[in-house]
Amino acid sequence: IFFLIFFITRLLTGVLGGDWGVTFKDQCALEGTTVVVSCQYDYPFPHFVTSVRWVPGQWQFGRWVWDISTSVPPHFEYVGNYRGDCSLKINNIKHTDEGHYLFRFVTSLSRWMSKNALHLSVKGIDASLTEGQSVSLTCRSECGTPKHVWYRDGNVVPQPVFQASRKDSGKYYCAVAGQEKIKSASVALNVQYAPSNVVLSMTPPADIINGSSVTLSCRGDANPPVPPSGFSLYQGKQLISSGPSHTISLLQPSHSGLYHCQASNNVSVRGITFVKSTELNLDVQCMYPQPFMSFKCSEHRWGRGGAVRSELYSFMLLFFIHRLKMGQNADSVIYSTVANSS
């Protein structure tokens, strides 16, 4: 009875009168993906299938044979049946899976193996970046042209073509849409830009007294970073020094004035390679012992050669009044003061 039922089933499935054969197409797959290889097989009546399997194939003496030295990997899963479907599911495809495979089945009266081998080719996906003012992200797959998605540092890139800016720097990779876990190797995009936000600062920032020291420092945001030799310090139009910082010791009135720095990393903006900071005013103060106050002693208030101007005369007058209040001889004080200033 069982044999009769099975026989009727074979008739209903259309196998009756068939011939030996296996039909499939070569498969190209992306590494890490899962694919199902469609396959059909046929056999004549009155055979019925008792065993099925996929085996590695090897070309020998002008024909494909079963390579009995190896076996298919465990992640190869037979998803067909015993009635003409020999489909094969391959999970998490690896590069080592690339090769040729044969389908073999055994019937109640004979056995059969496919005359041709399934060629499984495993490919990766490559990402290429065009760096420049206009960036074009191109993802290529050797297995057809699936839709791709681009990522920068894990975030989706809305458009594959854009104008590069400093915020676009990062590591890019692409993936097949719908299978985002399968991604290409990352490619770094390094967007270079000229110095910006160039600032000249002063330490200490206040109470700049003659005879003391001050350090002027220049900094800016740039990629690549500005090298030490790319910084220049100017007082007006006069070059003072090169480097990111400059210390002036024993400040004199002649050091007062407007300073600025320039920065360059050899990346030009509209043909300009040096970027200038805003100007910083260095105002050296003159300080004398109490009870006298400090006052400005800028260059324009001091004659050349150290000639005394109105501030010194004011100082002499204040000093004279102070000493006079203390009951000392004003004439000797005046003589002493004038002698020391000559």
55 with 71: CB under 8 angstroms?
yes
Q: Kindly report which listed range (98-112, 253-267, 304-318) carries the lowest average pLDDT score.
A: 304-318
Higher pLDDT, 304 or 122: 122
If pLDDT is split at 50, 70 and 90, which confidence band does 146 have? confident
Report the alpha-carbon distance of residue 248 to residue 231 in Å, rounded.
17
Report the alpha-carbon distance of residue 96 to residue 112 in Å, rounded.
27
Residue 27 above 90 pLDDT? yes
Report the alpha-carbon distance of residue 125 to residue 141 in Å, rounded.
5
233 with 246: CB under 8 angstroms?
yes
**Average pLDDT of the residues in 281-295:** 66
The pLDDT value recorded for residue 187 is: 82
Report the alpha-carbon distance of residue 166 to residue 169 in Å, rounded.
6
pLDDT-above-90 percentage for the chain: 40
pLDDT tens readout for residues 205-264: 877 888 899 999 999 999 889 988 899 999 999 999 988 999 999 888 899 999 999 999
The pLDDT value recorded for residue 267 is: 84
